[in-house]
Amino acid sequence: MYYFDPTYVLVIIAFALTMFASFGVKNTFNKYNEIYCRRGLTASEAARKILDANGLYNISIERVAGELTDHFSPKENVIRLSDSTYNSASVAAIGVAAHECGHAVQHQTGYVPIKIRNSIVPIVNIGNTLSMPIFIIGLILGIGPLAMAGAILFGLVLVFQIVTLPTEINASNRAMKTLKDMNLLDEDELQGAGKTLTAAAMTYVAAVAATALQFLRLIMLANRRRR
């Protein structure tokens, strides 16, 4: 007889949140990717101006394959802009590039949340690697405490995402302030860039919510084995 586990509802909600946020950021990016900067700046050019204005001459800008795969690598001192961003002069692309520059400035200024995030990465990687094997073994063998230990290790991923959230929001705030202060975008163009970055931030909020629901589900399943 088929048994429906009510905790599957949490998985469905988490999946729906993630898909909704992903659709939102792609839809918003595509919308404002059709609105171009009046100054004719490309995203890579805008990023170079922002970096130079902050004295970050040592950070290079490279192109990377994909769409919205933009990121800053502090170990390599490089900002990588995706195919959809690098040569684009849209307000969406410039906003995304400015956001990655915001991360570079965070590292330069010693922004505390990003220091905390970087310091817990090794522990989180261990927890992420071991959590599910330990949890599954605990469930299969009926050892509640072992399953709970796996669930708690998974909780480290949630902690990491919670710490990551303010760094992303701060990077976007820095980006918007810089674009305005350096007069790289006009007021109406700033609105488009801001909406793009807000939509991107919602993907991180959705990720935190989805991981929290998954964590709750693991705790609930582990508790069953403890009875």
Q: Where are the alpha helices (DSSP H) in 110-186?
A: 112-141, 144-181
Give the C-alpha distances (Å, rounded to integers) separating 117 from 79, 112, 204.
19, 9, 14
58 SS3 class: coil
Q: Is 8 exposed, middle or buried (0-12, 13-18, 19+ CB in 10 A)?
A: exposed
Measure the CA–CA gap between 141 and 226, rounded to whole angstroms: 12
Residue of 45, 100, 168, 189 with catalytic role: 100
**Which is nearest to 96 in space by CA: 66, 58, 140?**
66
Measure the CA–CA gap between 49 and 170, rounded to whole angstroms: 20
The token pair at 195 is: 């909406």
Active site residue 34: no
Measure the CA–CA gap between 219 and 155, rounded to whole angstroms: 10
Q: Look at strands 71-73 and 60-64 and give their pairing.
A: unpaired
Active site residues: 100
